[in-house]
Amino acid sequence: MSILLDQNSKVIVQGITGRDGSFHAEKMVEYGTKVVGGVTPGKGGQQVVGIPVFNNVAEAKEKTAANVAVIYVPAKFAKDAMLEDIRAGIELIICITEGVPVLDMVEVRKAMVGKNIRLIGPNCPGAISPGKCKVGIMPGHIHKQGPIGVVSRSGTLTYEVVYNLTLSDIGQSSCVGLGGDPIIGTRFVDVLDMFMRDNETKGIVMVGEIGGADEQIAADYIKKNATKPIVGFIAGRTAPAGKRMGHAGAIISSGDSTAEAKREILKQAGVTVVDFPDEIPAVFKNKLK
């Protein structure tokens, strides 16, 4: 099994006629993802790398039966793109766009209430179930199908973790990049719960960073519910208080949002916390014997 995506996922690309949308649509197709359509208002009827373009999401869904949408539009249009997906009933929305205003995300989250829709992002690298489906900007060639689930707030650290696992011949069941903004659609607890329920996931890597309380909430979940080994890494150990580091949500706002505090909280929950990502494969080789 895998979570969120599999070989049957049907994907539409919003912003497919733009530079990023067209580039990554082609990469997803090359990986084997079923990209069934693209959406750019006013450009319906065209094709991009052999993919039909539609004027809106409702039309694209009706013509293709798509259940996944990935968004590459500029930040000022991202809210409307997500709201369009929600109205159309797209089951999984993955928003790659960076710089989406916080108030826009408040509106999007409100629109999702009571609906069976999952949003990943914004400001995320996407998700991948190796060998089955890749949606987003993750480099497919570094992934290998296997038993380790990866969930991360950081895109580049996701790649580093995956690369080191693959080098050690340890594959991944699914990898999910949550995004680094203060308001996002899916959080650690959501993905950890999916991995706990997935029979093929035997261990989990959780990559966090300074700022916010997601790791603390995840630690509470882990204490009560974890049945599989979890290895954690927290970025930002040298970050000074009050200075935003990279992501909009990566800013120390209280004592327990520092890297050291989060590391300690996770350790108390039973997570094996490493100092560097390249230490993760060795931990799993011992835990999965």
- What integer best gives the mean pLDDT of the chain? 92
236 neighbors 212 (Cβ within 8 angstroms): no
Do 97 and 72 contact (CB within 8 A), yes or no? Answer: yes
Rounded Cα gap, residues 135 and 138, in angstroms: 8
> What confidence category does residue 4 fall into, taking pLDDT thresholds of 50, 70 and 90?
very high
Q: Could you give all domains of the chain from N- to C-terminal order, each with its CATH number?
A: 10-120 (3.40.50.720), 139-287 (3.40.50.261)
Q: Report DSSP state, residue 281.
A: H
User: H or E segment at 206?
Assistant: strand 203-209
The predicted pLDDT at position 229 comes to 96
% pLDDT > 90, the chain? 84
Binning the chain into helix, strand and coil, the percentages to the nearest 5 are 35, 20, 40
pLDDT digits (tens, 9 = 90+) for 47-59: 999 999 999 999 9
- Banded pLDDT at 256 (limits 50, 70, 90): low
CA 44 from centre of chain: 29
pLDDT at position 113 over 50:
yes
pTM, entire model: 0.93
Q: What pLDDT score does 287 carry?
A: 72
Q: What is the pLDDT of residue 180?
A: 85
Distance CA 207, CA 47 (A): 38
Condensed to tens digits (0 to 9), the pLDDT of residues 181-190 reads 889 999 999 9
User: How many other CB atoms sit within 10 Å of the CB of residue 106?
Assistant: 12
Give the whole-angstrom CA distance, residue 152 versus residue 229: 16
| Per-residue confidence band for 289, with pLDDT thresholds at 50, 70 and 90 | low
Query: Cis peptide before 74, with omega less than 30 degrees from 0?
Result: no
Helix (H, G, I), strand (E, B) or coil at 207: strand
DSSP letter, residue 4:
S
What residues are annotated to the active site? 247
Residue 130 has pLDDT above 70, yes or no: yes
Per-residue model confidence as pLDDT tens digits over 94-107: 999 999 999 999 99
> Residue 109: helix, strand or coil by DSSP?
helix
The region of weakest confidence among 130-144, 161-175, 242-256 is 242-256
- Residue 187 is which amino acid? R
* Residue among 57, 47, 48 at smallest CA distance from 14: 57
pLDDT tens-place string over residues 200-241 = 999 999 999 887 789 999 999 999 999 999 999 998 665 555
